[in-house]
């Protein structure tokens, strides 16, 4: 529970205001800052109070209240001097695999706990030049190789809606701090679902851009073919603003008319064997779309499962070795790949990477075959969008709500104990391997009181159009709320 002082900070009562300073998103905060109805110092005091009250969720692995206050005071001086930058005075969290000068980048792994890069990642630099305050570094699944955020090195992150459940991963800490009202937005990374899965499980919105739209320099990598940074926030309008800043794309984004909009409902894996609560929420979402005039079209994706399986892990595991080696060298970490892998602290991650390194990695021919499978997967998606004349595919982001994970890294799913990783990424993985853009939106709460995510995948490089569609759909879905802490 919050103390009276913490409550006064959150609501601005101490300054004679009655305004909730943790509920607004980026866009609303910038409007209030421009109007001078609040200050950046007001905002960070409220967020710090909220963070300190709920720090046990372990969303942040690095948090500096005094440093954040200093950033806010500097922003307020710039605002008073007439500066008007897109994010001036607004705190943004970074996943702890994204470099920021003055902050550690541990990637959630023992060998990098003392790693303090001297330079910003490209995305961090763009945020700072837009006036953003860096609020802290968010927890993640070790080396971004997992979906639960059960990290034995930096600590387990709890879902704000049910702290005994997972927040999803690997960008789980980002979802926690946004969903809990500790910060209005965060930047995560997504290789197979690592932005969209935690967004869905924590009841916020998350965007995976088309691979290559967001610069990757200064981010601890897995796969150059699959990785991308992406924004996480509570509203689509904030994803749009962050996408503009991260990519430099200033194309207009406005909610599209839903009447007559053709969306594909993919057959196969995407709608099969859903948790009953997820199924109920998603059927209600489809009814809302139909009522708004959306035309829902059944879309087949022939060969998708085979191509996806052939592409996914061979590409990621082949590219990890040279990509991580390059990052460790260019960031002056003082750590080599062999030491990094030898010191991995989580059994699930060690079980993948230590044998990989010991066996010399994925053979070149297997990697080449995987890239060919990826090309065919991309062709499956391109044909589906073109042949069915749909602008996006709609499906549940995850087939189940947040679960507690057992010591065997399994989850209860429809009466069975199943491996957690493939269970949660089942629907997000194919689009990730194809490199196409995807969004997860809060679709409502299942009967167990936990959030359900609605996913949209679009054609490659249709990101701004996909955001326009998401903005329109957001209006007909239940209004999302902060987790009821």
- Phi, psi angles (nearest 5°) of residue 249: -80, 115
On whether residue 397 sits in a domain, the answer given is yes
Length of the chain: 485
Q: What pLDDT is stored for residue 125 in this prediction?
A: 98
Look at residue 480 and tell me if it is in a domain. no
Residue 483 lies in a domain: no
| Band of pLDDT at residue 2, cut at 50, 70 and 90 | low
- For the chain, give the longest Cα–Cα distance: 68
Provide the pLDDT for residue 19. 52
Contact 123/229 with Cβ under 8 angstroms?
yes
Q: What is the domain range of residue 395? A: 4-474
Check whether 18 has a pLDDT greater than 90.
no
Strand partners, 417: 412
Q: What is the pLDDT of residue 20?
A: 85
What is d(CA 21, CA 180) in angstroms, rounded to the nearest whole number? 13
pLDDT band per the 50, 70, 90 thresholds, residue 196: very high
Residues acting as catalytic residues? 95, 170, 194
Average pLDDT in the 454-481 region?
A: 97
Return the CATH number at 67. Answer: 3.90.1300.10
Q: Is residue 482 part of a domain?
A: no
SS3 185: strand
Task: With respect to residue 485, please indicate whether it lies within any of the assigned structural domains.
Answer: no
Is residue 391 a part of any domain in this protein?
Answer: yes
pLDDT of residue 139: 98
How many domains is the chain partitioned into structurally?
1
Q: Report the 10 Å Cβ neighbour count for 322.
A: 13
pLDDT per position as a tens digit, 284-330? 999 999 999 999 999 999 999 999 999 999 999 999 999 999 999 99
**Average of per-residue pLDDT values in the chain:** 95
Question: What pLDDT band is residue 386 in, cutting at 50, 70 and 90?
Answer: very high
**Rounded mean pLDDT, 138-145:** 98
Give domain status of residue 479, yes or no.
no
The Cα 317–Cα 339 span in angstroms is: 17
Task: Tell me, yes or no, whether 484 lies in a domain.
Answer: no
Mean pLDDT of 164-179: 98
Computed on alpha carbons and rounded to an integer, the radius of gyration of the chain in Å comes to 21
> Is a pLDDT exceeding 50 seen at residue 16?
no
Mean pLDDT of 61-82: 98
Q: Which tokens belong to 471?
A: 């903005």
pLDDT at residue 141 is higher than 70: yes
């Amino acid at each position: 529970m919050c103390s009276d002082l913490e409550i006064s900070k959150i609501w601005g009562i101490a300054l004679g205001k009655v305004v909730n300073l943790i509920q607004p998103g980026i866009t609303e905060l910038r409007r209030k800052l421009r109007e001078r109805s609040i200050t950046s110092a007001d905002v960070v005091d409220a967020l710090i109070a909220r963070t300190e009250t709920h720090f046990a969720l372990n969303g942040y692995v690095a948090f500096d209240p005094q440093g954040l206050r200093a950033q806010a005071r500097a922003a307020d001086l710039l605002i008073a001097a007439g500066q008007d930058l897109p994010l001036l005075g607004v705190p943004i969290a970074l996943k702890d695999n994204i470099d920021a000068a003055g902050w550690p980048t541990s990637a959630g792994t023992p060998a990098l706990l003392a790693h303090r890069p001297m330079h910003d990642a490209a995305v961090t630099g763009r945020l700072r030049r837009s006036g953003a305050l860096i609020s802290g570094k968010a927890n993640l699944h070790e080396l971004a190789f997992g979906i639960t955020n059960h990290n034995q090195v930096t600590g387990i992150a709890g879902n704000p809606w049910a702290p005994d459940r997972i927040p999803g991963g690997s960008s789980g800490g980002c979802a926690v701090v946004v969903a809990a009202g500790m910060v209005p937005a965060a930047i995560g990374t997504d290789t197979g679902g690592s932005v969209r899965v935690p967004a869905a499980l924590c009841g916020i919105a998350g965007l995976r851009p088309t691979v290559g739209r967001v610069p990757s320099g200064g981010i601890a990598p897995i796969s150059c073919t699959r990785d991308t940074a992406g924004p996480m926030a509570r509203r689509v309008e904030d994803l749009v603003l962050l996408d503009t800043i991260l990519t430099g794309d200033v194309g207009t984004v406005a909610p599209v008319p839903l009447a007559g909009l053709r969306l594909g409902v993919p057959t196969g894996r995407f709608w099969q064997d859903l948790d009953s609560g997820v199924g109920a929420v998603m059927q209600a979402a489809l009814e809302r779309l139909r009522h708004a005039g959306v035309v829902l079209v059944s879309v087949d994706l022939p060969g998708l499962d085979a191509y996806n399986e052939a592409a996914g892990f061979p590409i990621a595991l082949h590219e990890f070795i040279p990509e991580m080696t390059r990052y460790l060298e260019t960031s002056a970490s003082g750590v080599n790949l062999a030491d990094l892998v030898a010191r991995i602290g989580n059994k699930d991650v060690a079980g993948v990477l230590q044998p990989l390194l010991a066996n010399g990695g994925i053979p070149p021919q297997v990697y080449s075959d995987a890239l060919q499978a990826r090309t065919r997967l991309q062709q499956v998606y391109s044909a589906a969008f073109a042949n069915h004349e749909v602008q996006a595919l709609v499906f549940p982001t995850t087939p189940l709500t947040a679960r507690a994970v057992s010591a065997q890294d399994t989850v209860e799913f429809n009466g069975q104990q199943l491996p957690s990783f493939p269970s949660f990424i089942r629907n997000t993985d194919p689009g990730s391997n194809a490199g196409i853009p995807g969004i997860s939106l809060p679709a409502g709460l299942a009967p167990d009181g936990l959030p359900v995510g609605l996913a949209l995948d679009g054609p490659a490089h249709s990101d701004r159009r996909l955001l326009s569609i998401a903005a329109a759909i957001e209006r007909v879905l239940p209004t999302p709320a902060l987790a009821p802490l």
